[in-house]
Amino acid sequence: LIVFTKAGFAQTLRWIYRFAGQYHSHDFANSITYGSDGNLYSAGSSKYSDWWDNFSIVSLDQNGAERWVYIYLTPGSTSDIAKSIAFGTDGNVYAAGQSHCTRAFYDLLVVSMDANGTERWKYRSDSTTYVWDEVSSIISGPDGNLYIAGSCGVWDSLGDFAVLSLEANGNERWL
Protein backbone atom coordinates (compact mmCIF):
# COMPACT_ATOMS: atom_id res chain seq x y z
CA LEU A 1 0.00 0.00 0.00
CA ILE A 2 2.83 2.41 0.79
CA VAL A 3 4.57 1.76 -2.54
CA PHE A 4 1.28 2.22 -4.40
CA THR A 5 0.53 5.46 -2.56
CA LYS A 6 3.94 6.95 -3.28
CA ALA A 7 3.80 5.90 -6.93
CA GLY A 8 0.32 7.39 -7.24
CA PHE A 9 1.57 10.80 -6.13
CA ALA A 10 4.93 10.81 -7.92
CA GLN A 11 5.50 13.81 -10.14
CA THR A 12 7.61 13.99 -13.25
CA LEU A 13 9.52 17.12 -14.17
CA ARG A 14 8.33 18.24 -17.61
CA TRP A 15 10.63 21.20 -18.18
CA ILE A 16 12.50 24.10 -16.57
CA TYR A 17 12.82 27.53 -18.14
CA ARG A 18 15.48 30.01 -17.00
CA PHE A 19 15.59 33.58 -18.22
CA ALA A 20 19.05 35.11 -18.16
CA GLY A 21 18.82 38.80 -18.92
CA GLN A 22 21.61 40.98 -20.19
CA TYR A 23 23.64 40.63 -16.97
CA HIS A 24 22.65 37.00 -16.26
CA SER A 25 21.75 37.85 -12.67
CA HIS A 26 19.09 39.55 -10.62
CA ASP A 27 16.27 38.46 -12.94
CA PHE A 28 12.99 37.90 -11.07
CA ALA A 29 9.57 36.55 -11.99
CA ASN A 30 6.87 38.01 -9.75
CA SER A 31 3.69 36.66 -11.34
CA ILE A 32 2.50 34.11 -13.89
CA THR A 33 -0.77 33.48 -15.69
CA TYR A 34 -2.09 30.89 -18.10
CA GLY A 35 -3.78 32.35 -21.17
CA SER A 36 -6.90 30.96 -22.78
CA ASP A 37 -4.65 30.56 -25.85
CA GLY A 38 -2.74 27.81 -23.99
CA ASN A 39 0.43 29.85 -23.40
CA LEU A 40 2.10 31.05 -20.21
CA TYR A 41 2.87 34.69 -19.46
CA SER A 42 5.18 35.81 -16.67
CA ALA A 43 5.98 39.29 -15.37
CA GLY A 44 8.96 40.51 -13.39
CA SER A 45 12.21 42.38 -13.80
CA SER A 46 15.60 41.91 -15.40
CA LYS A 47 18.79 43.74 -14.56
CA TYR A 48 20.02 46.18 -17.19
CA SER A 49 22.91 47.76 -15.28
CA ASP A 50 24.76 47.17 -12.03
CA TRP A 51 21.84 48.59 -10.01
CA TRP A 52 18.64 49.06 -12.00
CA ASP A 53 15.90 46.82 -13.39
CA ASN A 54 13.70 46.62 -16.49
CA PHE A 55 9.97 45.85 -16.59
CA SER A 56 9.95 42.37 -18.16
CA ILE A 57 7.34 40.02 -19.63
CA VAL A 58 8.15 36.52 -20.91
CA SER A 59 5.80 34.27 -22.87
CA LEU A 60 6.29 30.49 -23.01
CA ASP A 61 4.40 27.75 -24.77
CA GLN A 62 3.13 24.73 -22.81
CA ASN A 63 6.40 22.88 -23.49
CA GLY A 64 8.49 25.63 -21.87
CA ALA A 65 9.81 27.06 -25.13
CA GLU A 66 10.25 30.84 -25.15
CA ARG A 67 7.79 32.53 -27.52
CA TRP A 68 8.83 36.15 -26.90
CA VAL A 69 10.39 38.51 -24.35
CA TYR A 70 9.35 42.12 -23.77
CA ILE A 71 11.72 44.45 -21.91
CA TYR A 72 10.85 48.06 -21.06
CA LEU A 73 12.44 50.91 -19.16
CA THR A 74 10.59 54.22 -18.95
CA PRO A 75 12.73 57.05 -20.37
CA GLY A 76 14.26 58.89 -17.42
CA SER A 77 13.49 56.03 -15.03
CA THR A 78 16.12 54.16 -13.11
CA SER A 79 14.05 51.06 -12.39
CA ASP A 80 10.79 49.55 -13.71
CA ILE A 81 9.39 46.35 -12.18
CA ALA A 82 6.39 44.27 -13.29
CA LYS A 83 4.58 42.87 -10.23
CA SER A 84 1.48 41.15 -11.63
CA ILE A 85 0.14 39.86 -14.95
CA ALA A 86 -3.28 38.95 -16.33
CA PHE A 87 -4.59 37.47 -19.56
CA GLY A 88 -7.68 39.38 -20.64
CA THR A 89 -10.97 38.06 -21.91
CA ASP A 90 -10.05 39.91 -25.12
CA GLY A 91 -6.95 37.72 -25.65
CA ASN A 92 -4.46 40.44 -24.65
CA VAL A 93 -1.84 40.46 -21.91
CA TYR A 94 -1.81 43.10 -19.15
CA ALA A 95 1.09 43.59 -16.74
CA ALA A 96 1.16 46.07 -13.85
CA GLY A 97 4.07 47.29 -11.80
CA GLN A 98 5.91 50.41 -10.87
CA SER A 99 8.37 52.80 -12.42
CA HIS A 100 10.95 54.81 -10.49
CA CYS A 101 11.00 58.43 -11.56
CA THR A 102 12.66 61.69 -10.59
CA ARG A 103 9.55 63.58 -9.37
CA ALA A 104 8.28 60.79 -7.12
CA PHE A 105 9.57 57.57 -5.73
CA TYR A 106 7.36 55.25 -7.84
CA ASP A 107 4.56 55.68 -10.36
CA LEU A 108 2.16 52.92 -11.28
CA LEU A 109 2.85 51.42 -14.72
CA VAL A 110 0.54 49.17 -16.77
CA VAL A 111 1.63 47.71 -20.12
CA SER A 112 -0.68 45.93 -22.56
CA MET A 113 0.62 43.45 -25.13
CA ASP A 114 -1.16 41.34 -27.66
CA ALA A 115 -0.65 37.58 -27.34
CA ASN A 116 2.20 37.77 -29.90
CA GLY A 117 4.26 40.20 -27.82
CA THR A 118 3.46 43.45 -29.64
CA GLU A 119 2.97 46.41 -27.31
CA ARG A 120 -0.53 47.89 -27.53
CA TRP A 121 -0.30 50.73 -24.98
CA LYS A 122 1.24 51.91 -21.70
CA TYR A 123 -0.50 53.65 -18.80
CA ARG A 124 1.50 55.57 -16.21
CA SER A 125 -0.12 57.13 -13.10
CA ASP A 126 2.25 60.12 -12.98
CA SER A 127 0.43 61.30 -9.88
CA THR A 128 1.20 64.74 -8.51
CA THR A 129 -0.78 63.95 -5.34
CA TYR A 130 1.13 60.86 -4.26
CA VAL A 131 4.88 60.42 -3.94
CA TRP A 132 4.75 56.66 -4.44
CA ASP A 133 2.36 54.15 -6.00
CA GLU A 134 2.86 50.42 -5.53
CA VAL A 135 1.10 47.57 -7.34
CA SER A 136 0.15 44.24 -5.80
CA SER A 137 -2.19 42.68 -8.35
CA ILE A 138 -3.98 43.11 -11.69
CA ILE A 139 -7.00 41.20 -13.01
CA SER A 140 -9.10 41.35 -16.14
CA GLY A 141 -12.76 41.40 -15.19
CA PRO A 142 -15.54 39.56 -17.00
CA ASP A 143 -16.74 43.02 -18.09
CA GLY A 144 -13.51 43.46 -20.10
CA ASN A 145 -12.11 46.14 -17.78
CA LEU A 146 -8.88 45.96 -15.78
CA TYR A 147 -8.64 46.26 -12.01
CA ILE A 148 -5.31 47.05 -10.34
CA ALA A 149 -4.83 46.88 -6.56
CA GLY A 150 -2.01 48.38 -4.56
CA SER A 151 -1.23 51.35 -2.38
CA CYS A 152 -0.24 54.99 -2.70
CA GLY A 153 1.15 57.50 -0.27
CA VAL A 154 3.16 60.57 0.58
CA TRP A 155 6.46 60.78 2.45
CA ASP A 156 4.94 61.18 5.90
CA SER A 157 2.37 58.34 5.59
CA LEU A 158 2.43 54.59 5.46
CA GLY A 159 0.15 54.63 2.44
CA ASP A 160 -3.46 54.13 1.50
CA PHE A 161 -5.22 51.16 -0.08
CA ALA A 162 -5.83 51.92 -3.75
CA VAL A 163 -7.78 50.30 -6.60
CA LEU A 164 -7.57 51.59 -10.16
CA SER A 165 -9.81 50.56 -13.06
CA LEU A 166 -8.77 50.91 -16.70
CA GLU A 167 -10.65 50.15 -19.87
CA ALA A 168 -9.07 47.48 -22.08
CA ASN A 169 -7.74 50.30 -24.30
CA GLY A 170 -5.82 51.89 -21.38
CA ASN A 171 -8.22 54.74 -20.54
CA GLU A 172 -8.67 55.36 -16.82
CA ARG A 173 -12.19 54.66 -15.53
CA TRP A 174 -11.74 55.48 -11.85
CA LEU A 175 -9.33 55.41 -8.90
From CA 167, how far away is CA 147, in angstroms rounded? 9
From CA 175, how far away is CA 166, in angstroms rounded? 9
Q: What is the mean pLDDT of the chain?
A: 85
**Per-residue pLDDT tens digits for 38-51:** 999 999 888 766 56
Closest CA to 88 of 21, 157, 148: 148
Instruction: Provide the β-strand partners of residue 40.
Output: 34, 60
CB 35 within 8 A of CB 42: no
**Per-residue pLDDT tens digits for 76-105:** 667 788 999 999 999 999 999 988 776 557
3-state secondary structure 81-121: EEEEEEECCCCEEEEEEEEECCCCCEEEEEEEEECCCCEEE
From CA 99, how far away is CA 56, in angstroms rounded? 12
For range 70-80, the mean pLDDT:
78
For range 120-141, the mean pLDDT:
83
Q: Is the pLDDT of residue 122 over 70?
A: yes
The pLDDT > 90 percentage for the chain reads: 49
What pLDDT shows up at residue 80? 83
- DSSP 8-class letter at 43: E
**Per-residue pLDDT tens digits for 7-23:** 566 688 989 988 877 66
CB 82 within 8 A of CB 73: no
Length of the chain: 175
Q: Is the pLDDT of residue 6 over 60?
A: no
Q: Is the pLDDT of residue 144 over 60?
A: yes
